Structure 1
Amino acid sequence: MAVWAEAQRQQQRREEAQRRAYAQAQRDQERQARDAERAMARLHRERQAAYRQQREADARRRTEELDARVAALTGLLADGCRAPAFTAAALLRPERIEEFAPGALATPVPMPDPARYQAPPGGWHLGAARRDRAQEEARARYEQDWYAAQSAEHQRQNQLAAYRRQYDQWAAGALDGIRQHNAGIEELLTGLRNGDAEAAVEYFSAALYASTAWPEGFPRRVTAAYEPTARQLVLDWELPGYAVVPETKAVRYQAGADQEKETARPAAQRRALYRDVLAQSMLLVLRDLFAADTYGALDSVALNGFVDDVDPATGRPAQVYLATVMAPRGAFDALHLDRVSAVECLTDGLRGQLAARPDQRTAVRPGRLPDDVGGAGTVVSHGGETEPDLYEMDPIAFENLIAELFRAMGMQAVTTQRSGDGGVDVDALDPDPIRGGKIVVQVKRYRNTVPPTAVRDLYGTVQSEGANKGVLVTTSRFGPGAHTFANGKPLSLIAGPELVDLLGRYGLRGRLGTPAPGTDTDPDGAPAPTASSGGTPDHNVLGMTWSGDVALDVCALVCKGTTVLSDDHFVFYNNPCTPDGSVRMLPGTAPDRAAVRVHFEGLPPDADRLVLVAAVDPQANPDADLAGFTDARIRLLDAAGEEQGQLVVSDGRRGETALVLGSFRQRAGGDWDFVIGGKGYPGGLTALVQEYGIEVA
């Protein structure tokens, strides 16, 4: 019985210990749950605080941006007066061109060292026959390398001589272009000194366009005329609209509603600031004109400031004049613009007129308009609300628009006669001392891709005209063949989207409407090239050739940036085609050792790069590298097999087994341009594709 009783007591103690342990575990679990709840609540509060701080910071940032815009408007005149004045001296280009720089061609090819071609020491035990054979092999290797080095040196000297001839020809043309440019500037200045109206309008319009005093977004549209007898410039200048003054004064975050609340700027304050901006703009125009007149061509300026609006009587677009002033030079020179009140200076100091309620388009009556001068006026227009369809624009109007664009960019530009223009639609002169000179411009109002033949014709025109540069402007786009031919030549290709962007950037009007069915024409009325006529190929063939006996695999990667779209967009011998068929491997046919067919317009929308690579075949040549990969080039063929150009790529290097030949990259206008590669990989194709985001097992 005693034993049984003791066993019962022990059992009770164990059960009691288990109950206590269970209760303690429950208390621990409840405590951990409470701690977790408190931690989550604290984290939630911290997140809420961080979110609120971020929203408050965003509201402060918006307020600071509004304050900065208002400060820029308030200090418009003061900041503009600190900007450098326009001078004709800046238009002259120094008669200095880049020196001849042959680069690597200036270094002679090193000749092999005979000391490195001695037979290896082997002792007399090798025998005389084996020693003689070893010496003969060493001598043969030396002779082979010596002849190869001599051949390479001869090739280098020929290339250097050819490059020198090209440089001399370019230098002579560049120097001649600089002298012609300077002669044109001197002719313009002579006309300005002699009171020529056209020269005066051209010079002072350029001064306004070249001014760096205006904030971004301000319009630059001018109509000007010059009266030589009164030495007076009469011009209409577009003023900024009422929206230039921010309607919002401040932004504050409301945590309760979780939204930003905008505080409106008082109407009286906004109207007063707008009148001040208009007055500052008028004074700044006068400052730019008189500061640029270092030849005494201006005794006075009649300036009218306008905004585009709608005539309430007709409902048609009209110019509403909000300010006008007749400023004599003597009166203006007596002003201290850094200390004046703009509104009082314009209305009282210069006795000009400024609309009392410009926000409501209350007009003033101009004293004199450019049309009042007569036939001496020259009109240069910028801006406007209605954007004409470039496809439907009159051919002559389209050429005038392109000439206007070049003038807005600070150049002298005129359209040529319709006949006997030698393939030139616009003659331009860039005053920039580095990139400037004579520019010939051709315009192609196409809807389909411009063929490479048009680019070749432009290059011939550049050479025959002795121009520094040629520009081909189109409403369409260019194919890889066009960019291939233009690569390395003084040619610029401006596709339709780039043209629209340039027009908008310089305040001009133009849009690319929806192409209409039917026959397309260029500005001269000739039918535009179509796919059926061979003008726009459905695809291109990239034929690759190189010197050397090493077996290579040529591959292509369809990428966005430096990342391949997917494993299926890595085209090689085991995956010869992309899923959409836009890129396909082809067997190489003489003279090409490999080929890739590419339909550029059929590439995926998110693809902006086609990368071409070459790698040593590890099965055919396991111990080879790319040291013998030389004279490599890519032939660009159209769908009919006609060669459109050749692309030179980098030679291989010792120790590397894979090489990026180059990549076709999509430009902003949708065209594809070639960029040479040259990066090598000792780790072969595996290392190369891993860098482009392909996982190799």
Structure 2
Amino acid sequence: MWITILNAPLPIVSAAPYLRREPFIRVEQEVCGMAQRGGGRSEWERQQAAARREAERAAREAARREKEAEKLRKQQHIEKQQKLTENRTREISQRIARLDSILTDTLQRAPLGFDDLVVKPKIPLFDPGPLGIPESEPTWAEYDPEPPGLVGLLFGGAGRHGRAIERAEQEFQKALTAHKKRESQRNSALLKARREHAERVRKIEDKTQAENTKLKTRAVEFSQSRPEAVEWFVERILDRSTYPKGFPKKTQIAYRPQNRDVVIELELPPTSVIPDVRGYKYVKTRDAIDPVPRPPSEVKKRYAQLIARVALRTLHEVLSATPSDVVEAVVFNGRLTTTDPATGQTTRLHLLSVASERSNFEKLVLSKVDAVACLKRLNALVSPNPYDLEAIEPFIEFDLKRFRFTEDFDVVSNLDSRKNLLELSPTEFEHLIRDLFSSMGAEAWTTIPSKDGGVDAVATSKDIFFGGVCLIQAKRWSKLVGLDAVHALTGVMADHNATTGVLVTTSWFGRASEQFAQRNRVTLINGAELKHLIKKHLDIDVVPGVTPKHKPRASNNKQSGRPGPTQ
């Protein structure tokens, strides 16, 4: 803002008013003009207003971008949650698919043979490392001094060069000597490394040869139905069988050459392997992933199908990998280790038991069967409610199966001091059986006259394994106890209203007898088991007096298509 003062001379008297008022009038007029030109605001005010408008515009733009970013974050979160939901549901579906295919998957795999067990040596490659790299030999060019020039020759360079050559030759020879020494040391170390590697290879080959020789021996013993060899091979079969995560790998195996059958007790998977949800769903309003429950009826049905598939799979794996002249049948017991809710103690329950002849099993089309229905057709004993851990009594109690007949019974029965049960009189045998059951907890003993030459009795007990009123029949036989004997015992049980029955023999039983006995509350005790019980409860060593006769074989390994180990 400028103030204009007139320079024209004014009279002193008349200038006073101008000096007092004219400048302020002009300033006022000029300020008013500027205000009129600026719309009533100053330049500073206009700048401040513009700055405010820019700030407001920037704030609106930032808010818009933040809103869009928040919307994008929410969308990304929703997509992430939806993807997580889909992955969890897919995982459940895959678990169910693996459980559903437990039986069919194994049908595609070739059965195990002894050839598959041949050990192939893993020979490590010889790696000499730096020892395998020869050191470059020194060359004269590295030591040959530069010849003198023309000027050097004129001033005694020839003599100096000659002396330099002599020194270089000495250094060169020293280098050659040192090189040869280092190479000699390297070659010695390399030779030692080769010898050590050869020794390691020899040990690996010797160990491999020993294992394969042992395998050949096992193969021969397997073909001869030696129990240890058959059990070893069946164990290899089951070890090779892979199950999903969460399945236990516990088995017990016994082979009975008299029946040519394998008894397998396998730990079943816990009920928790069946997912209790069908999948998952994402709820946007709560931003939560909720499980979709699987109906309890479906869970129970799937568990029943699962353990049935495990049983059929085990039967298939063993029967497909063994020849009929060694294994004619398989007895499978499925048990589950769990916690008794009433006591809190660990308990083992049998949920399934099935015995199948090879001829019956080979007729099945396993890729198409309903596992539960198939077991029913095989007359299996299956828990009515396996998911609820309702136990059954298996066809064969496994613990006693380890007490087998030995091949020397016939040979030593007349040579050692042990009691031969076949040589006891009926009265002596009766007293022995009575003492045995009394020591096992029988509270009463009443002999029932019989006409078959055996010892029949009634025993009662609250603690003995047969429980309640039990009818006991003993047969001092040297041959197979057939199914008719078990039928006869059940008839006598009905006549006397007995709760259970026990059939004791000095010989052995067939599979049909075992299966029928299981279904009719009869416990069978063969000669080997009787020997064990007498030793355990009476501390008396006895000889059953008979070895089960091996059934004649229809063919050898080669004829049955069973490969042996590589020769």
TM-score range, shorter chain: 0.5 to 0.7
Counterpart for residue 85 of structure 1: 111
Query: Is 2:237–2:317's contact at 8 Å kept on the other side of the alignment?
Result: yes
Q: Say if 2:72 is the partner of 1:42.
A: no
Distance change in 2, residues 1:98/1:137 (3 Å): same
How is 1:609-628 mapped onto 2 (pairs within 5 angstroms)? none
Counterpart for residue 236 of structure 2: 206
Aligned counterparts of 1:296 and 1:112: Cα–Cα separation in 2: 75
Partner letter of residue 178 of structure 1?
T
How is 1:135-174 mapped onto 2 (pairs within 5 angstroms)? 135-174=165-204
TM-aligned CA deviation for residue 308 of structure 1: 0.9
TM-aligned CA deviation for residue 331 of structure 1: 1.2
Q: Say which of 380, 385, 392 aligns to 1:352.
A: 380
Q: Say if 2:304 is the partner of 1:281.
A: no
More strand by share: 1
Counterpart for residue 425 of structure 1: none
Q: Say if 2:368 is the partner of 1:306.
A: no
TM-aligned CA deviation for residue 50 of structure 1: 1.1
Aligned counterparts of 2:380 and 2:45: Cα–Cα separation in 1: 100
Q: Say which of 166, 171, 175 aligns to 2:205.
A: 175
Counterpart for residue 695 of structure 1: none
Distance change in 2, residues 1:295/1:95 (3 Å): farther
Aligned counterparts of 1:251 and 1:95: Cα–Cα separation in 2: 50
Partner letter of residue 137 of structure 2?
M
Query: Is 2:332–2:355's contact at 8 Å kept on the other side of the alignment?
Result: yes
Query: Is 2:276–2:294's contact at 8 Å kept on the other side of the alignment?
Result: yes
Task: Say which structure, 1 or 2, has more relative contact order (CA 8 Å, 6+ apart).
Answer: 2
Query: Is 1:235–1:369's contact at 8 Å kept on the other side of the alignment?
Result: no
Distance change in 2, residues 1:89/1:49 (3 Å): same
Counterpart for residue 474 of structure 1: none
Q: Say if 2:389 is the partner of 1:361.
A: yes
Aligned counterparts of 1:327 and 1:140: Cα–Cα separation in 2: 92
SS at match of 1:362: coil
1:16-63 CA-partner distances (Å, limit 9, x unpaired): 444333323322221221111111111111111111211121112111
Partner letter of residue 234 of structure 1?
V
Query: Is 2:103–2:310's contact at 8 Å kept on the other side of the alignment?
Result: yes
TM-aligned CA deviation for residue 226 of structure 1: 0.8
Q: Say if 2:259 is the partner of 1:230.
A: yes
Partner letter of residue 100 of structure 2?
T
Partner letter of residue 388 of structure 2?
Q
Counterpart for residue 58 of structure 2: 32
TM-aligned CA deviation for residue 305 of structure 1: 0.4
Query: Is 1:198–1:376's contact at 8 Å kept on the other side of the alignment?
Result: no
Query: Is 2:350–2:394's contact at 8 Å kept on the other side of the alignment?
Result: yes
Query: Is 1:85–1:211's contact at 8 Å kept on the other side of the alignment?
Result: no
SS at match of 2:369: coil
Query: Is 1:193–1:295's contact at 8 Å kept on the other side of the alignment?
Result: no
Q: Say which of 153, 158, 179 aligns to 1:128.
A: 158
Counterpart for residue 483 of structure 2: none
Q: Say which of 298, 305, 319 aligns to 1:269.
A: 298
Q: Say which of 256, 260, 273 aligns to 2:289.
A: 260
Counterpart for residue 423 of structure 2: none
More helix by share: 2
Larger Rg belongs to: 2
Aligned counterparts of 1:7 and 1:137: Cα–Cα separation in 2: 108
Counterpart for residue 335 of structure 1: 364
> Unaligned regions of 5+ residues in structure 2, if any?
1-21, 406-567
Partner letter of residue 310 of structure 2?
S
Aligned counterparts of 2:247 and 2:102: Cα–Cα separation in 1: 11
Q: Say which of 206, 213, 224 aligns to 1:194.
A: 224
Aligned counterparts of 2:121 and 2:289: Cα–Cα separation in 1: 59
Q: What value does the CA root-mean-square deviation take over the aligned residues? A: 2.4
Q: Say which of 100, 106, 109 aligns to 2:135.
A: 109
Distance change in 2, residues 1:374/1:113 (3 Å): closer
1:389-443 CA-partner distances (Å, limit 9, x unpaired): xxxxxxxxxxxxxxxxxxxxxxxxxxxxxxxxxxxxxxxxxxxxxxxxxxxxxxx
Aligned counterparts of 2:240 and 2:306: Cα–Cα separation in 1: 20
1:57-115 CA-partner distances (Å, limit 9, x unpaired): 11121111111111111111111222343221122134784565545544443311222
Partner letter of residue 228 of structure 1?
P
Aligned counterparts of 2:27 and 2:288: Cα–Cα separation in 1: 78
Aligned counterparts of 1:74 and 1:200: Cα–Cα separation in 2: 30
Query: Is 1:254–1:261's contact at 8 Å kept on the other side of the alignment?
Result: yes
SS at match of 2:368: coil
1:367-408 CA-partner distances (Å, limit 9, x unpaired): 11223435249xxxxxxxxxxxxxxxxxxxxxxxxxxxxxxx
1:133-158 CA-partner distances (Å, limit 9, x unpaired): 43234323322321121011101221
Counterpart for residue 635 of structure 1: none
TM-score (norm 2): 0.62
Query: Is 1:311–1:317's contact at 8 Å kept on the other side of the alignment?
Result: yes
Distance change in 2, residues 1:157/1:96 (3 Å): same
Query: Is 1:112–1:149's contact at 8 Å kept on the other side of the alignment?
Result: yes
Query: Is 2:332–2:354's contact at 8 Å kept on the other side of the alignment?
Result: yes
TM-aligned CA deviation for residue 356 of structure 1: 2.2
Query: Is 2:100–2:306's contact at 8 Å kept on the other side of the alignment?
Result: yes
TM-aligned CA deviation for residue 295 of structure 1: 7.2
TM-score (norm 1): 0.51
SS at match of 2:165: helix
Counterpart for residue 548 of structure 2: none
Aligned counterparts of 1:165 and 1:68: Cα–Cα separation in 2: 53
Partner letter of residue 358 of structure 2?
R
Aligned counterparts of 2:343 and 2:200: Cα–Cα separation in 1: 58
Counterpart for residue 460 of structure 1: none
SS at match of 2:106: helix
Q: Say if 2:278 is the partner of 1:249.
A: yes
TM-aligned CA deviation for residue 339 of structure 1: 1.3
Query: Is 2:92–2:279's contact at 8 Å kept on the other side of the alignment?
Result: yes
Query: Is 2:324–2:358's contact at 8 Å kept on the other side of the alignment?
Result: no
How is 1:469-508 mapped onto 2 (pairs within 5 angstroms)? none
TM-aligned CA deviation for residue 205 of structure 1: 1.1
Distance change in 2, residues 1:316/1:36 (3 Å): closer
Query: Is 1:225–1:376's contact at 8 Å kept on the other side of the alignment?
Result: no
Aligned counterparts of 1:201 and 1:190: Cα–Cα separation in 2: 14
Aligned counterparts of 2:91 and 2:308: Cα–Cα separation in 1: 23
Partner letter of residue 24 of structure 1?
A
SS at match of 1:121: coil
Query: Is 2:121–2:204's contact at 8 Å kept on the other side of the alignment?
Result: no
1:149-207 CA-partner distances (Å, limit 9, x unpaired): 10111012211222232233333333222221111101111111111111111110121
Partner letter of residue 240 of structure 2?
A
Aligned counterparts of 2:45 and 2:340: Cα–Cα separation in 1: 95
Q: Say which of 272, 290, 293 aligns to 2:322.
A: 293
How is 1:372-383 mapped onto 2 (pairs within 5 angstroms)? 372-376=400-404
Counterpart for residue 23 of structure 1: 49
Counterpart for residue 481 of structure 2: none
Query: Is 2:122–2:204's contact at 8 Å kept on the other side of the alignment?
Result: no
Q: Say if 2:74 is the partner of 1:51.
A: no
Query: Is 1:305–1:321's contact at 8 Å kept on the other side of the alignment?
Result: yes
Aligned counterparts of 1:11 and 1:363: Cα–Cα separation in 2: 107
1:337-372 CA-partner distances (Å, limit 9, x unpaired): 111111111112x22122221111111221112234
TM-aligned CA deviation for residue 294 of structure 1: 4.4
Distance change in 2, residues 1:64/1:183 (3 Å): same
Counterpart for residue 219 of structure 1: 248
Aligned counterparts of 2:117 and 2:105: Cα–Cα separation in 1: 24
Distance change in 2, residues 1:159/1:365 (3 Å): same
Aligned counterparts of 2:64 and 2:123: Cα–Cα separation in 1: 75
Aligned counterparts of 2:215 and 2:402: Cα–Cα separation in 1: 26
TM-aligned CA deviation for residue 306 of structure 1: 0.7
SS at match of 1:261: strand
Q: Give the total of aligned pairs.
A: 375
